[in-house]
Amino acid sequence: MPDPSSSTVGDLVAAFLDACGVRTAFGVISIHNMPILDAFARGNRMRFVPARGEAGALNMADAFARVSGGLGVGVTSTGVAAGNAAGSLVEAWTAGSPVLHLTGQIERGWLDRGWGYIHEAPDQPTMLKGVSKAFFRIGAPEEALDVLHEAVRTARTPPAGPVSVEIPIDIQGAAVEVPASLAAPKTTRTRPAPADLDALAEAVAGARRPILWLGGGARGAESAALRLADMGVGIVTSTNGRGVVPETHPMTLGAFNAAPPVEAFYGTCDLMAVAGSRLRGNETLKWNLGLPEARWRVDCDPSMDGRGYASARFVRGDAVAALGGLADRLTGRLRPDPAFAGDLAAARRAAEEGLRASLGENWSAVLDAVKAHFPADAPWVRDITLSNSIWGNRAVPLTGSRQGVHSLGGAIGQGLPMAVGAALAEPGRRTVALIGDGGFALSLGELATAAQEKAPVTVLLMNDGGYGVIRNIQDAYYGGRRHYADLLTPDFAALCASMGVRHRKVASVEAFRQALPGGLKGGGPAVLEVDMEGIGPFARPFAGPPVREKGMREKRVREKKGSAAP
């Protein structure tokens, strides 16, 4: 047991996180992390949110980081508990979220012997290395500060990601001196070579219809990206890059990145620069989306050069520094095609009309109600569910890059804990979460966390009695043989009542319109349950991300060249 008369490594952890500006952490208390959490409580500067599961805790830390722009912190025990967090670490890595995962470990004297000590995993380091950007084990009390410093630096350095730090229980409680002054590590950014930026600026300046694809790596580059849009550069984003340029700006296509009218518009563009995006397969028709042939790639990760699409030229550098330098070099130099802005706006209108056609009248009315009452600048959290895949990912305009939080790895069940993390990152705003009943059931315990913490979250719970998208996939590709997608659905009204959570169920468009304003007000969490059968079917069933036959991109290029031949 730790000596109460001296400072411990647990105290050092608390003091260091305080120096890093961390005021909120998430986790599950256990015998193998108690010295750290005891130090949090005694220090009285850290808000610790007790999640109901380690997976939820790390989802909360991830969303907290995305919305706040700071460091997300999750604390787990070792063994099974650390394993429970693994999927959430994969999600944070996919999203590029700076998350510090602190996990306990058994005493050093029993570590790695394989004797079946309680809470021990056979090879925890390998497991955590596989789901984290980096893994560290603190081997002695005197190593703690240096390891923590490097772990936070690594988590924040672009491409940002989750970093796991394992601290054996005897080290957590060991006596150690806590320095009177602690400093947070500086974020390391890769600055692009001036010659590369000069070349990119020259190429963009010579283009008449240039477009910039922004990914999550461009968060932080809002000012520069907006300057480029104001100069006449077209903007399109990945799902993770939404809001870097406000989606109300006339020069942005938003996240309508693969809609057919937008793909046709790409064919009229003479240059595309991709900044901070992996051009993920589900947003590029598995890399068969037709993009402009003159493609420049800007990324701090050199392995992105040529990934998915060939690059005309690769600029290695952090998107924040690169876009700032590009905007400086292009000031007063752009002469875009006078028809470019109008053509871009027409492509976006056509994409929005296509989305509404897939919704049908009733669901279009639901969308209009959400847009009409959406709280200004509110975090918009979405789980993997039919409504999000069809309209939530694109159709509610975001004006800031920290608003959008989505399960980018494609796993259901993360929306509710993410909504809690987002809400606690922005306590003065109400978070809105779009979640299906199947995903909601995966993390029901975190509704208790939301109630306990009085998290200002409104859940739009889309209830179709199971996994709607799976049913559609079975209809489309498995001859209509539906198996395992119909689920026992809880009585959500009774469940919410048991936790003191406001709940209302609606089964018509008019009832949704009437209930939504009230559901977006008040304190603590609220659930607005939508009976999807009552609203009616979507005009076009959604059966997974759109795909295209392999080789079609090359075929279209050949056809385009052939039609241009004299």
Does residue 195 contact residue 322 with C-beta atoms inside 8 Å? no
Both structure tokens of 434: 């779009």
Q: What is the pLDDT of residues 243-293, one digit of tens each?
A: 999 999 999 999 999 999 999 999 999 999 999 999 999 999 999 999 999
Tell me the pLDDT band of 401, cut-offs 50, 70 and 90.
very high
Q: What is the pLDDT of residues 207-226, one digit of tens each?
A: 999 999 999 999 999 999 99
Is pLDDT larger for residue 387 or for residue 554?
A: 387
Residue type (1 letter), 298: V
Q: Over 90: is that where the pLDDT of 341 sits?
A: yes
Q: Do domains 194-350 and 360-535 have the same CATH topology?
A: yes
Does residue 198 contact residue 211 with C-beta atoms inside 8 Å? no
Q: Over 60: is that where the pLDDT of 563 sits?
A: no
The ranges assigned to domains in the chain are: 9-172, 194-350, 360-535
Percent above pLDDT 90 for the chain: 89
Specify the residue for token string 């009552």.
534
What does the pLDDT read at residue 566?
A: 32
What does the pLDDT read at residue 4?
A: 53
Half-sphere exposure of 422 (CA within 13 A, CB side): 30
Query: If you count them, how many residues does the chain have?
Result: 566
DSSP label at residue 416: H
CA–CA separation, 383 and 408 (whole Å): 9
Q: Over 80: is that where the pLDDT of 555 sits?
A: no
Pick the CATH number of 360-535 from 3.20.20.70, 3.40.50.1980, 3.40.50.1440, 3.40.50.970: 3.40.50.970
Q: Over 50: is that where the pLDDT of 468 sits?
A: yes
Strand (E) positions, 147-280? 162-168, 210-214, 234-237, 271-275
Does residue 374 contact residue 396 with C-beta atoms inside 8 Å? yes
Does residue 155 contact residue 133 with C-beta atoms inside 8 Å? yes
CA–CA separation, 199 and 296 (whole Å): 10
Q: Over 60: is that where the pLDDT of 416 sits?
A: yes
- The whole-number average pLDDT for the span 398-402 is 96
Fold that domain 9-172 belongs to in CATH: Rossmann fold (3.40.50)
Q: What is the pTM of this model?
A: 0.94
Q: What is the pLDDT of residues 3-14, one digit of tens each?
A: 555 899 999 999
Give the DSSP letter string of 274-343. Answer: EES----GGGTTTTTS---SSEEEEES-GGGTTSSS--SEEEES-HHHHHHHHHHHHTTT----TTHHHH
Q: What is the pLDDT of residues 108-161, one digit of tens each?
A: 888 887 887 888 888 899 999 999 999 999 999 999 999 999 999 999 999 999
User: For the CA atoms of the chain, what is the radius of gyration?
Assistant: 25
The pair phi, psi for residue 75, each rounded to 5°, is -120, 125
Q: What is the pLDDT of residues 61-73, one digit of tens each?
A: 999 999 999 999 9
CA–CA separation, 534 and 351 (whole Å): 27
CA–CA separation, 400 and 445 (whole Å): 30
Q: Is the peptide bond before 4 cis (omega within 30 degrees of 0)?
A: no
Closest CA to 213 of 279, 288, 308: 279
Q: Over 90: is that where the pLDDT of 309 sits?
A: yes
Does residue 3 contact residue 175 with C-beta atoms inside 8 Å? yes
Q: Over 80: is that where the pLDDT of 553 sits?
A: no
H or E stretch covering 463:
strand 457-463
Q: Over 70: is that where the pLDDT of 562 sits?
A: no
What does the pLDDT read at residue 316?
A: 97
Tell me the pLDDT band of 565, cut-offs 50, 70 and 90.
very low
Among positive and negative, which fits the CA dihedral 329, 403, 66, 21? positive
Q: Over 60: is that where the pLDDT of 559 sits?
A: no
Task: Report CA-CA distances (Å) from 555 to 207, 306, 552, 558, 562.
Answer: 25, 20, 5, 5, 10
Q: Mean pLDDT over all residues of the chain?
A: 93
Closest CA to 432 of 404, 412, 409: 404
- Residues 6 or more apart in contact with residue 238 via CB below 8 angstroms: 213, 214, 215, 216, 255, 257, 277, 279, 280, 283
Percent above pLDDT 70 for the chain: 96
What does the pLDDT read at residue 561?
A: 47
Q: Over 80: is that where the pLDDT of 560 sits?
A: no
CA–CA separation, 265 and 254 (whole Å): 14
Specify the residue for token string 């909120």.
24
- Residues 6 or more apart in contact with residue 358 via CB below 8 angstroms: 390, 538, 539, 540, 542
What does the pLDDT read at residue 143?
A: 96
Neighbours of 186 (CB within 10 A): 9
CA–CA separation, 543 and 548 (whole Å): 14
Among positive and negative, which fits the CA dihedral 243, 191, 212, 285? negative
Tell me the pLDDT band of 556, cut-offs 50, 70 and 90.
low
Q: What is the CATH number of domain 194-350?
A: 3.40.50.1220
